[in-house]
Structure 1
């Protein structure tokens, strides 16, 4: 989600060496951003069948739309799909386990914010 881009620093002085600064570009992944199913699958590098399986299991839930072509998701879904993919790929966790693990992670995060 984050990338870097090199851009020349602007200066009134001419120097023999060019100065460079790094510009960080990112996307806020919260409840206010909205993603289509196509954008979500592209951002997470997953196919539509994986997204359908995650929706069926309740790992992510569309906020709008009746079919895959019309579905809309919040930015939080990007994080959940990425985590679900890593849990399955790296640890071999099945979809039910993924749903449980992500719900527990969300609960833990909420408890930490309350403190």
Structure 2
């Protein structure tokens, strides 16, 4: 029987560099590359002071799926994430006016 772990996220919480890697089960290098590519925009000026929110966790998970399932590179994943978020925003606006 497989075991699954569920993490409940508080939207107001933030996590440090090592914590975000542990939560998302990714290595430090990948998160560092995601920051350099603009996939993630942590608060703080260096890895020692970086703080990530719940949106970062979602972005890491989606990026990993895009890379694993579709073979998308990191710049492509950054673009796809931006477009997906824009689409979500437009759908939200449309629901408000209809």
Normalization by structure 2: what TM-score? Answer: 0.84
Kindly indicate which of the two structures has a greater share of residues assigned to strand: 1
d(CA) in 2 for partners of 1:68, 1:105: 27
Determine which of 27, 37, 43 is the counterpart of 2:9: 27
Equivalent position of 1:50 in the other structure: 30
Structure 1 unaligned blocks of 5 or more: 4-24
Moved >4 Å (runs of 4+): none
SS of the residue aligned with 2:72?
coil
More helix by share: 2
Equivalent in the alignment of 1:20: none
Where relative contact order (Cα < 8 A, 6+ residues apart) is larger, the structure is 2
Distance 2:5 2:26 in 1: 18
Computing the radius of gyration from Cα coordinates, the structure with the larger value is: 1
* 2:46 paired with 1:67: yes
Q: CA deviation at 1:2?
A: 6.2
C-alpha root-mean-square deviation of aligned residues, in Å? Answer: 1.7
> Are 2:94 and 1:112 equivalent residues in the alignment?
no
Counterparts of 1:109 and 1:38, CA distance in 2: 29
Aligned residue for 1:7?
none
Aligned length: 91
2:87 partner SS: helix
Measured in 2, the distance between the counterparts of 1:59 and 1:26 equals 22
